[in-house]
Amino acid sequence: MTFLAMTATQAIALALLTAGAIVALYFLKLRRRRVLTSSLLLWRTVLEQRQARSIFERLRNPLSLILAVVIGLLLALALARPDVEALTGRRKRVTIVLDTSPTMQVHAGGETRWQRAVREAVDLLDAGGPTTEFRLVDTSGHTDTSYSSDRSELRRWLSGMRPHAAELRFPAVDGALSDGPDTETWLVSDGVAPLTVPDGVRRISVLEEAPNVGIVAFEIRPEPSSPLHYTAYLEAQNYGKATAPVKISIVGAERSEIRREAALPAGGRFQEVFDLSTFSGGAVTATVQSDGDAFDMD
């Protein structure tokens, strides 16, 4: 048995102190009301008869002391927060890595991948024993908590986490991987982001198939024959299972715009080189719009 709130020596000292204090109080208990009586002759006779008759009466005084000591020791032990594997479960340290890449915002099945990831993380928290400690980390480097068994605190952290468009990196969890069977690391991800995941990390996938038409290539370059003349190459692909009507637009400065509409079959690609000679310069943005698209960021 280990103690979470103090060392074993401290816990034993506390128990001894408590037991000693209770025994002392038992013998120094508040004085009873003193009543002067003519004679104790009859009272003694009655008490002796009752004590001789009843086992409970004979044991009552030592029993009440024992009960008081046991109750006191239980309270003292509760303060020491004993960790008994048979009662409280095995003590573990679990690291939950949440993928915060932008693709986690994809809507699928009535919720985003992120919402599902959070739900999975909450399930992991709930599945842990009372002595299991959790650490929450994300792949964008915004969140990295210390190990804690305080579930409400961990839930607060979870509710504050969001997907970020930042450089993605699997966090350092080497210690959590090498501690042995009492440590676990879980990665909750849609598996889209190119992360280097160490061996031993367990994965929970939140990837669900979703209709999406996305830009897979977009490049602007000058024409070799005329360096001041620019063209844009745009390639979009329908990843859904049905033909998707798409609207493609390339927008430049001063409201210059090129629009295209096409119906992309399942797995079909749209490829076109656009002449940007009418554009007067500045930033150029390409967008693809499709009804029921799961990933709005395209």
Q: Which is nearer to other proteins, 48 or 153 (CB)?
A: 48
Closest approach, Cβ 65 to other proteins, in A, equals 14
Determine the straight-line distance between the first and last CA of the chain, rounded to whole angstroms. 56
| By CB under 8 A, residue 49 contacts other proteins | yes
In this chain, which of 34, 225, 227, 255 binds other proteins, going by CB under 8 A? 34
| By CB under 8 A, residue 43 contacts other proteins | yes
- In the structure encoding, which two tokens stand for residue 224, read together? 């070799």
Number of residues in contact with other proteins under rule CB under 8 A = 19
* 15: number of Cβ within 10 Å: 18
Query: Of the listed pieces 27-35, 116-124, 149-157, 263-271, which binds other proteins according to CB under 8 A?
Result: 27-35
Closest approach, Cβ 59 to other proteins, in A, equals 14
Write the interaction track for other proteins spanning residues 119-158; mark x where CB under 8 A is met and - where it is not: ----------------------------------------
Query: Of the listed pieces 44-52, 66-74, 126-134, 190-198, which binds other proteins according to CB under 8 A?
Result: 44-52
| By CB under 8 A, residue 74 contacts other proteins | no
- Element spanning 217, H or E: strand 213-222
Distance of CA 12 to the CA centre of its chain: 35
What's the number of CA atoms in the CB half-sphere (13 Å) around residue 26? 16
**Residue ranges with strand state E in 225-292:** 230-238, 244-251, 257-264, 269-275, 285-290
Question: Which amino acid is it at 143?
Answer: T
| By CB under 8 A, residue 58 contacts other proteins | no
| By CB under 8 A, residue 35 contacts other proteins | yes
- Element spanning 95, H or E: strand 93-98
Query: Of the listed pieces 31-39, 179-187, 202-210, 273-281, which binds other proteins according to CB under 8 A?
Result: 31-39
Please state, in angstroms and as integers, the Cα–Cα distance from residue 196 to each residue in 32, 62, 145, following that order.
76, 67, 21
Binding site for other proteins (CB under 8 A): 31-47, 49-50
